[in-house]
Every structure is written in structure tokens, then in C-alpha cells.
Structure 1
Amino acid sequence: MSSITASVWLVIVAALVAANLPFVNHRWAVVGPVAAPRKPLAGRLAELVVMYFLVGGLALLLERRAGQIAPQGWEFYAITGTLFLTLAFPGFVYRYLVRRHG
């Protein structure tokens, strides 16, 4: 497996994990204090935006390491943002739509 292929898979897996972290843990910013009594949806969405930029920074770092950075327009950010929201769907479903008994 080439270094570029490994970098692509690393970014995809990092995006999948990062997109779901705000919905599966009760701490602020993943490692901060536990939110009491629970984190509001707006807080989780704010964390989701921060995670998007952190994964984007990782991708930029890997792209810079691999060679020349390709220029991106607004279309790139619109597509990657919607992809990140799509990857966050399982965590959202787990947090807000799965009925818990007991």
C-alpha cells in the first residue's frame, strides 16, 4: 500500500471517528469536564465544527507532506462539510433517535 493511499484511509477513519465523538461522549471538547446534566445539541454541533477543522488540518498536513497542495474553492468545503455531517449520522442517531429502556 502506498503512502498516499494510507494517508487517504487515515483521513477517512479520522473523519468517521471525529464526526461521532461529540455524540458519544459527555465531556466538553472530548477531554474536558463532564457536561452536567448533559450537553445541549448546540454544544455538540459546535464541537462537530471544531472536529471538522481538526480533521481538515490533518488532511492538509498529510497533503503537504505528500507534495504540492491542490487549490480548493468553496465547492470543496461544501462537499467535505456535507460528507462530515453524513459521517456524523450514526452518532446522532445513537444519541437522539435510539429509544433507551430503563
Structure 2
Amino acid sequence: MSAAGWFIVLLALVFANVPFLNQRLFAVVPLRLAEPTGRRAPKKSAWIRIGELIVLYFVVGALGFMLEARAGNHFDQGWQFYAITFSLFVVFAFPGFTYQYFVKRH
């Protein structure tokens, strides 16, 4: 596998975890969330995180497509390719998901 291929895999690993590691939209835009109740800080909803995950999947896909086209060997892909890569992207998001929803904070 070329360096560009490994770069895309590492980029996918990082981008898949971005929605779960902070309370900002795409780790940049602060959101106006509901007022906190009690002492708990407001959190992004799961739907926003899923939306971010889907958008970031397409961003990584577009970057991969650009690198592949720049190398000069673009290959047509069927729906199976996209189903497998999205599934892999969701698996890459598991560490961030685990940290956000399963790790208890004191």
C-alpha cells in the first residue's frame, strides 16, 4: 500500500472520532445547546454526532478520490465498496464512541 493509502486510513481513523471527542460541530463551530440542568454540562445529541459522522465520511472519501485521481489510476467503484468503507468508518469511530458514552467521568 502506498503512503497516500496509509494517509487516508489514518485520516479516516482521526475523522471518525472527531464527533465524539468534543461538543463542537466538526470540532470547530460552537453549538448553542440547551441550558444545563443541575451541574451537568450540555452535550451534543446523538443525531448531530451521526450527521457529523456521515459528512466526515464523505470528506474523507473525497480526499481519497482526489489522491487516487492525482496518482492517475482512478477505479470505478460499486455500491459494495461504499458499504464496506462506511462500515469500516463506523468501526474506526468505536474508540471515540466508547469514550463518550461508556467511560464514566468523576
Determine if the TM-score, normalized by the shorter chain, exceeds 0.5: yes
1:9 aligns with 6
2:2 alignment partner, SS class: helix
1:51 aligns with 56
Which one has the bigger helix percentage?
Answer: 1
Q: Structure 1, residues 26-74: CA drift from partner, whole Å, max 9, x if none? A: 1012211145321001100100000000000000000001112101000
Cα distance in 2 between the residues matched to 1:27 and 1:6: 31
Identity of paired residues, percent?
A: 50
Give the superposed CA RMSD: 1.2
1:82 aligns with 87
Cα distance in 2 between the residues matched to 1:35 and 1:29: 14
Q: How does 1:1-102 map to 2 (within 5 A)?
A: 5-36=2-33, 37-101=42-106
Structure 1 outlier segments of 4+, above 4 Å: none
Q: Structure 1, residues 63-102: CA drift from partner, whole Å, max 9, x if none? A: 001112101000000100000000000000000011222x
How many residues align? The count is: 98
Cα distance in 1 between the residues matched to 2:105 and 2:54: 27
Q: Give the TM-score taking structure 2 as reference length.
A: 0.88
Ranges in structure 1 where 5+ consecutive residues have no aligned partner: none
Q: Which has the larger radius of gyration?
A: 2
Ranges in structure 2 where 5+ consecutive residues have no aligned partner: 34-41
1:17 alignment partner, SS class: helix
Q: Does the 8 Å CA contact 2:18/2:26 hold for their aligned counterparts?
A: no
